[in-house]
Chains A and B, each alone.
Chain A
Amino acid sequence: MARPSQWRSSLRAVQKSSAVTYRAPRVTGPRLERVAVVQIRRQSTASPASSSPSSVSPSEVSHFSRLASSWWDPHGPSRLLHLMNPLRHDFIQSCLNSSSSAVSAVANHSGSYSYLDVGCGGGIFASSAARLPSTSTVTAIDPTELVIQVAKSHQRSDPALSAPKLRYLNCAIEDLPVPSADQDKVDVLTLFEVLEHIDSPSSFLELAIPHLKPGGWIIGSTISRSLTAFLTTKLIAEAPVVGVVPAGTHDWNKYINPSELRQYFETRAPGSWGVFHTQGVIYLPVLGWQLVNNSEEWGNYFFGIQKLA
C-alpha cells in the first residue's frame, strides 16, 4: 500500500505538468493540451477540500453506471465489446512477439505476464486476460462503482477467475499506489476503449506509465477523430432504433488520432519508447470486427508501444 506522501508527490507532478502546459502552449498535440486547460479551470472551481485533480469525468461515470447491469449480456449494448475482445488478444500477441529481445528478457524472465487493466468496465478484457495460461496476475481498476460490482459478481461465476489471479479495484489510476521495485510493476498495461472517455489523456498517461516495468507494453484501443468516425460511431452506432451502442456513449471531441498519440510517446512521455504499433479495426454488421490495415486514421484502432527504459 503506497503512503500518502507518494500520492501527494505524484499529484503535484500532475499539477506541475498541467501548469507548465498552460504557460507555454506547444505546437504538437494541441488536442491533449487544450483539454488540460479546461481541466485546470475546472479544478479552480472545485471545492478547496478536494485536493486531487481527478482523471475521472463524472458524466462518464454516470453513463457507465447505467450500462452496468447489461454489461455481460451477449446480445446487449456491450455486444460489440465482447466481439472485439478476441481481436485484442491477437493484437497483444503480435505486439509481444515483436518485443525487443534485449528488454523483454528482463521483463519476462518467468514466461508469464502480469496485467494492469485501467478502465476495465465490467471486466470483459480483464477476465479474458486472467484466463490465459500465460498470465500470472491481472489487476483491473475502474472508477465507476457499479461496474466494478458487476465485474466482481461475474468473477464469482467462474472458478478460473478467483483471486489472486484476478482482482478488481474500484478506484482511479491516481489512487493506485505505484510499486517501488521494477519487478513488482506490470508487464502489460491495457487501456481498451478508455482514452476517448478521458478529459486529459496526457496527464492520465503520465499517471499510468509509472506502473509499467521497463520492457513492458502499453496496449490499448481507441477511436480516431475523423468525419468517418463521427458518422459511424455517433450518427449510426448511436442512432435511436438501429444503433448498436447506447446514446451518449461517445463524445467525438474526445477521440484521439494515432498521430497525436505517437507524438506524445515520441516527445513527451517519460522514458524511452519503441516503435508505435497501430492496427485499424472496423465493425461490419454480420461479419463482426475485421482487421483493416491503414484504417486507423478514420475509425477504431488498436495501438501498442513498448517501454524500452
Chain B
Amino acid sequence: MKVSPSRQQELLLLSSILRASRPLCARCTHSRSRQSASPLSPPAQRSFSILNRPPPNYPGHVPLTRVERLGLAVGSAITSLTNPYRHDMIAALGEATAQPFFITRLRNRMLSDPTGRRILRDRPRITSKTMSLEKLRRLPEDTVGRTYAAWLDREGVTPDTRDPVRYIDDEEEAYVMQRYRECHDFYHAVTGLPVWVEGEVGLKAFEFANTGLPMTGLSLAAIVRLKPQERQRMFEIFLPWAFANGWRSKDLINVYWEEELETNVAELRNRLGIEQPPDLRAIRRKLKEERRAAKAAREAALMNSTTAAPAPAQSTA
C-alpha cells in the first residue's frame, strides 16, 4: 500500500507522539518532555526522593513518594473520621487509596462504555461557569437539571465547592477522579438522599457498590458516629437499598450529566436501574412530628393527671 504525502505527515505526527516524550492532551496546558522516569509508570516503580521530585503531569499535581502517600492515607483517614466536615481530608483520603488499582479500574470502565469514552474525550467540567444555575432553575419540575439546582439551593452549596485532584499521578485518572467528585451532587439528585451524615453515608454505600473506590467503603466507618436510631435505620433500610442498587445499576460515572439535564428523573432512574430509595427527609419529618405529638400528649397528660386517666399515647413511629 503506497503511503500518500498527507498520510506520511500523519505518520510523522504519530511517530512524534510515540517518542518517549509524552505530550498531554489538547485540553491540558502543559506539554513538556520527560528527562527522568516516566511519571506514568506505577508509583511502585518510581524511585525518586523528595529532593528531586519529577515535574507535575497536570496543573496542581503533586507527585508523592510511597512514604508520603502512606502518611497521607493514614493521616487523612483519622482526620476524616474525627471531623467529617474536613472535606479536603476526605478528598485526600480518596486519592491516596484509589491508586493504583481502583482508579484504573474505574477508568477502564469508562473506557469500555461508549458514553464514558465520550466523556473522556470531551473532558467536561462541572463548575458554576459551565453549569448555569439560573437556567437549570427554569427547567420543568422533575427534570434532572431542576432537581440538581433545587438540591444545591437547599443544601446551600455550589458546584465550585469540590476540591481539585492533586495526588493522582496519571493525568487521565486524575480527570476521572475529578469527574467523580463533581458528579457527586448529581448522584444526590438522582437518588434523593439528603446531605446529612445519614444521607451521605447511604450514598457512599451506593457509590462503593457502583464504583468500587476504597474511600467510599472507608467512609462507612462514619456509621459509628450516628445516633443509635439512625444507625438502626441505616442497617435496616438504607444499606440494603444502597448495596443492592449500586451493584445492579449501570455505572453512574458513565452518565453524561450535561446531556441529561432535561431528562425526567424517574425516567433516568429507570434507565440506570435504580429503585427510588425511601425518602430520608420524609422519614425524619414524620418521626419529628410523631415525637412532637408524643411530647405534647405527655404534657397534656401531666396537666390532666389529677382529673382523668391519661389515654395511652399511640405512637406510630
Q: Are A and B close enough to touch in the complex, i.e. CB under 8 Å?
A: no
Which residue numbers of B lie inside 8 Å of A, CB to CB? Answer: none
The interface of chain A, by Cβ under 8 A from chain B, is none
